[in-house]
Amino acid sequence: MALKYLCIHANATAFSIVDTVAECIAIDPQAYTVLSAASIADQPSMQDIFAIPLAEDMVQMWSLGFGLPMICYLSAWGFGVLLNMLSDTKPY
């Protein structure tokens, strides 16, 4: 849903609902622009932003943040061991 703005005219006797701030300025250059109540209700609150995630989301975050780098590291380590084993010169 697109944001809707309330364009409150300078004399504060009327308002218009517009889609962009530019429309409000075109109507009245001294008008005030605020979000409409419906647009404010659609925006996340601080409680939504800092809410504890669901257990399934935590599992995904853990596997991406720890599991993926660990798998990449261990795969690279194993590949390095194989290359060292097959090389002609010994590293010691």
* pLDDT tens column, 43-82: 777 888 888 989 999 999 998 999 999 999 999 999 999 9
Distance CA 23, CA 17 (A): 10
pLDDT higher at 92 or 26: 26
Q: Are 39 and 4 in contact (CB under 8 A)?
A: yes
Q: What is the pTM for the complete model shown? A: 0.41
> Cα 17 vs. chain centroid, distance in angstroms?
28
Distance CA 68, CA 62 (A): 9
